[in-house]
Amino acid sequence: MNSLRGKIVFITGASSGIGRATAIAFAEQGARLLLCARRIDRLTELARELAALQSEPDVFTFRLDVRDPVAVNETLANLPEEWRDVEVLVNNAGLSRGLTPLYENDPLDWDEMIDTNIKGLLHVTRHLVPGMIARGSGHVISMGSTAGKETYAGGAVYCASKAAEKAIMEGLRIDLIGKPVRSTSIDPGMVETEFAQVRFRDEDKGRKLYQNITPLQPEDVADAIVYAATRPKHVNIHTILMTTIDQANSTVFNRHS
Ligand code: NDP
Ligand code: 8X3
């Protein structure tokens, strides 16, 4: 097993859902946590929670909008010296907007999804991988989705963004061949987070999506992320495709009533 004790794990979008659960799961491994999101108040609250869980939590939180490439490069370049050697990058920040036919979509929603899910992932990865190569160790783990495997109605651009994540992670793996840096795509189906509330811009509608079904929980996904990161260093987990037992693919669900 690859111990992460004392190693820096950087999680984008740690203020909610999968990113938040992943921060807690890596803290349990004794990792040092570098956490960003736009909602800094949420990160401060999480850091407080981690302090209650651990005797000596080592957490550094900062505000970052991954859609802004200048901010990504400047903020990461100016991290305190002791927080720069990222061992594991978790590209988790992401979102969907809307569930309507493509020809009825608001193009601003396309920008938000593409700028976050694709370009945000690219800029953060581009900034951090050279250091991993130079130090001779690193791991890039990105959030894909069943949506990147099979497109569903109303999800053309979100699904495209996750299909892009799949291609980017495959390309990164090819480009890293011969280098001691691993790359993994974690591809869940429905996970009960704020994802649907953000998609619909409606808390009630978002919550209802997870009724009459047993969805994956953020902790299930965090567990898979930690699994990939803690394999021996010669083991590269390419993808983990995972759903609740109530989901067969992007469109087939077992609703309980
Ligand atoms: P949540 O909405 O609960 O969390 C999304 C996180 O992303 C938040 O912390 C949010 O923080 C952050 N984020 C969004 N935009 C930005 C941005 N521009 N800059 C920085 N951080 C940002 O959703 P999930 O936890 O479900 O989603 C996490 C990832 O998992 C996403 O990539 C999503 O596509 C993927 N996924 C989700 C599934 C699901 O069913 N829930 C299934 C498969 C994949 P803040 O708003 O504070 O910036
Ligand atoms: C999130 C899962 O099916 O809502 O990627 O797109 S889904």
If you write DSSP's letter for every residue of 99-127 in order, what string do you get? Answer: -S-GGGS-HHHHHHHIIIIIIIHHHHHHH
Would residue 176 count as lying in a domain? Answer: yes
* Ligand at shortest distance from the CA of 17: 1
Q: 9-40 pLDDT, tens per residue? A: 999 999 999 999 999 999 999 999 999 999 99
192 Cα–ligand 2 center, Å:
10
Helix pair angle (121-135, 69-77), 10° resolution: 30
Say whether 46 sits in a helix, a strand or coil.
helix
145 Cα–ligand 2 center, Å:
6
Query: For ligand 2, is residue 147 a contact (CB within 6 Å)?
Result: yes
Closest Cα to atom 5 of ligand 2 = 145
Q: Is 158 a catalytic residue?
A: yes
- Tokens at 243, concatenated: 């759903």
Would residue 254 count as lying in a domain? Answer: no
Would residue 257 count as lying in a domain? Answer: no
Would residue 215 count as lying in a domain? Answer: yes
CA dist 15 and 39 (Å) reads 7
226 Cα–ligand 1 center, Å:
18
Please tell me the predicted confidence (pLDDT) of residue 15. 98
Please tell me the predicted confidence (pLDDT) of residue 54. 72
Q: Which of 15, 75, 240 has the alpha carbon at shortest distance from 33?
A: 15
How much is the pTM? 0.98
Please tell me the predicted confidence (pLDDT) of residue 55. 64
Would residue 136 count as lying in a domain? Answer: yes
For the chain, residues with pLDDT lower than 70 are: 55, 57
145 Cα–ligand 1 center, Å:
12
How many domains, in total, are found in the chain?
1
Query: For ligand 2, is residue 198 a contact (CB within 6 Å)?
Result: no
Would residue 252 count as lying in a domain? Answer: no
We report the CATH number of the domain holding residue 65 as 3.40.50.720
CA dist 195 and 199 (Å) reads 6
The H or E element that residue 86 is part of is strand 86-91
Would residue 255 count as lying in a domain? Answer: no
Please tell me the predicted confidence (pLDDT) of residue 1. 87
Query: For ligand 2, is residue 190 a contact (CB within 6 Å)?
Result: yes
Q: Please compute Rg for the chain using Cα positions.
A: 18
Residues lining ligand 1, judged by CB closer than 6 Å?
12-19, 37-39, 42, 64-67, 92-95, 116, 120, 143, 145, 188, 190-191, 193-195, 198
Structural domain that includes position 133: 8-242
- Tokens at 146, concatenated: 């069943």
Would residue 250 count as lying in a domain? Answer: no
